[in-house]
Structure 1
Amino acid sequence: MSDIAISLNQVSKCFKRYARPVDRLKELLLPGKPRAEEFWALRDISLEIPKGETFGLVGQNGSGKSTLLQIIAGTLQPSSGEVITHGRISALLELGSGFNPEFTGRQNVFFNGRILGLSQAEIEARFDDIAAFADIGDFLDQPVKTYSSGMFVRLAFAVAINVSPDILIVDEALAVGDIFFQAKCFRRIEALQDRGVTILFVSHDLGSVQNLCKEGILLHHGQILCRDEPSVISSEYYKLFRVEHEKLHSSQTDYTATHLPLVREGLIEVTYDQRISNGKATIEQVYVTALNDRPQKTFQVGETVKVTLVTRFHEDCEKVSSCVGLRDRFGQSLVGKHTWYDHPGLIPKVKGGEVVEFEFTMQLDLHHGEYLAIIAVASQRSEADYDSLDIIQDAFVITVAGENRHWGMAKIAGSVNIYHHGQPLEVAETAAL
Structure 2
Amino acid sequence: MGEKIAISLKNISKCYKRYASPGDRLKEILLPGKSHSQEFWALQDISLDVAKGETLGVIGQNGSGKSTLLQIIAGTLTPTTGEINVKGRVSALLELGSGFNPEFTGRQNVFFNGQILGLSRAEIGAKFDKIASFAEIGDFMEEPVKTYSSGMFVRLAFSVAINVNPEVLIVDESLAVGDGIFVHRCMAKIRDFQDAGGTILFVSHDIGSISRLCSKALWINKGLIVDSGKPPEVCKHYQGWVHEEVNKRHQVNNAALQQDTTEVPESVEIDVCKITNKQLNTFTKKPYIAFSSFERFGTGRAEINGISVLGADNKPLKLAYPGDVIKIRVSTFIHDNVRKPNVGIALVDRLRTVLSGWSTELIDLNFGNDWLSKSQNGTTIIEFEIVWPHLTGDTYAIDIAFADGSNDSNEMLDWIQNATVIQSATNEIVHGLIQLSSTKVRLCEELLCTN
- TM-score, scaled relative to structure 2: 0.83
Q: In the aligned structure 1, how far is the partner of 2:52 from the partner of 2:433?
A: 33
Question: Aligned-pair distance for 1:191?
Answer: 0.6
Equivalent pair of 1:238/1:274 in contact (CA under 8 Å): no
Equivalent in 365, 372, 375 of residue 397 of structure 2: 372
Alpha-carbon deviation of 1:256? 6.1
> Is residue 419 of structure 1 aligned with residue 420 of structure 2?
no
CA distance in 2: counterparts of 1:234 and 1:221, whole angstroms:
17
- Cα gap change, 1:405 to 1:25, in 2 (>3 Å): same
Q: Distance in 1 between matches of 2:120 and 2:140?
A: 24
Report how far residue 131 of structure 1 moved.
Answer: 1.4
Write out aligned runs for 1:31-50 (5 A): 31-50=32-51
Give the letter aligned to residue 295 of structure 1.
P
Q: Which residue of 1 aligns with 2:312?
A: 291
Deviation at residue 181 of structure 1 after TM alignment: 1.4
After superposition, the C-alpha distances for 1:103-124 in whole angstroms (9 at most, x for unaligned) are 2222221211111111112112
Alignment of 1:360 with 2:361, yes or no, is no
**Deviation by residue 1:303-343 (Cα, 9 ceiling, x = unmatched):** 22211222233444444432212111222222332334324
For 1:23, the equivalent position in structure 2 comes to 24
Q: Aligned equivalents of 1:358 and 1:114: distance in 2? A: 63
SS in 1 for 2:43: strand
- Tell me if structure 1 keeps the 8 A contact 2:311–2:327: yes
Structure 1 317/7 Cα, relative in aligned 2: closer, same or farther at 3 Å? same
| 1:342 aligns to 2:363 (yes or no) | yes
Q: 1:235 to 1:265 in 2, by over 3 A?
A: closer
How many aligned positions are there?
418
Is structure 2 residue 420 aligned with structure 1 residue 396?
A: yes
Who is 2:183 aligned against?
182
Shift in Å, 1:163: 0.7
Equivalent residue of 1:34, what SS?
coil
Deviations 1:22-75 (A, max 9, x none): 111111222222111111111111112122221222222222111110000000
Secondary structure of residue in 2 paired with 1:189: helix
Equivalent residues of 1:320, 1:379 under 8 A apart:
yes
Question: Runs of 5+ in structure 2 lacking a partner?
Answer: 252-256, 276-290
Taking the aligned partners of 2:398 and 2:441, their CA distance within structure 1 comes to 36
CA distance change for structure 1 residues 139 and 340 in 2, over 3 Å: closer, same or farther?
A: farther
Matched residue of 2:85: which SS?
strand
Judge which range, 274-283 or 14-23, deviates more.
274-283
Contact 2:271 2:306 in 1 (8 A): no
CA apart distance, 1:203:
1.4
Kindly tell me: are residues 411 and 361 of structure 1, through their superposed partners in 2, closer, same or farther at Cα, counting changes over 3 Å? Answer: farther
- 8 Å Cα contact 1:336/1:362 also seen in 2: no
Cα distance change, pair 253–188 in 1 and its aligned pair in 2 (3 A): farther
3-state SS of paired residue (2:234): helix
Instruction: Please state whether the residue corresponding to 1:181 is helix, strand or coil.
Output: helix
Whether the aligned pair in 2 keeps the contact of 1:334 and 1:410 (CA below 8 Å) is no
The 5 Å alignment of 1:273-312 reads: 274-312=295-333
Aligned mates of 1:376, 1:333 — CA distance in 2: 14
Q: Residue 158 of structure 1: CA displacement?
A: 0.8
Q: 1:74 to 1:304 in 2, by over 3 A?
A: same
**Stretch of structure 1 that moved more, 43-52 or 315-324:** 315-324
Q: What is the root-mean-square deviation in Å for CA atoms of aligned residues?
A: 3.0
Amino acid in structure 2 at the alignment position of 1:106: R
Whether the aligned pair in 1 keeps the contact of 2:243 and 2:412 (CA below 8 Å) is: no
Kept in 1, the 8 Å contact 2:260–2:335? The answer is no
Amino acid of the structure 2 residue aligned with 1:67: T
SS of the residue 2:316 aligns to: coil
Alignment of 1:208-287 (within 5 A): 208-243=209-244, 251=260, 254-255=263-264, 265-266=271-272, 270=291, 274-287=295-308
Q: What percentage of residue pairs aligned between the two structures are identical?
A: 46
Displacement of 1:14? 0.7
Report the equivalent of 1:92. 93
Query: Is the alpha carbon distance of 1:272 and 1:95 closer, same or farther for their aligned partners in structure 2, counting shifts above 3 Å?
Result: farther
Counterpart of 1:324 (choices 317, 321, 345) is: 345
Q: Which moved more, 1:88-97 or 1:219-228?
A: 219-228
Match for residue 283 of structure 2?
none
Within a 5 Å distance, the mapping from 1:1-20 to structure 2 comes to 2-20=3-21
AA aligned to 1:294 is K
- How far 1:386 sits from its partner (Å)? 4.4
Distance change (3 Å), C-alpha of 1:74 and 1:346: farther
- Alpha-carbon distance change, 396 to 265 in structure 1, aligned in 2, over 3 angstroms: closer
CA distance in 2, matches of 1:407, 1:195: 24
Query: 1:22/1:4 Cα in 2 relative to 1: closer, same or farther (>3 Å)?
Result: same
Question: 1:296 Cα shift?
Answer: 2.2
Partners of 2:198 and 2:362 in 1: how far apart? Answer: 43
CA distance in 2: counterparts of 1:345 and 1:198, whole angstroms: 50
Q: Which stretch shows the higher mean deviation, 226-235 or 114-123?
A: 226-235
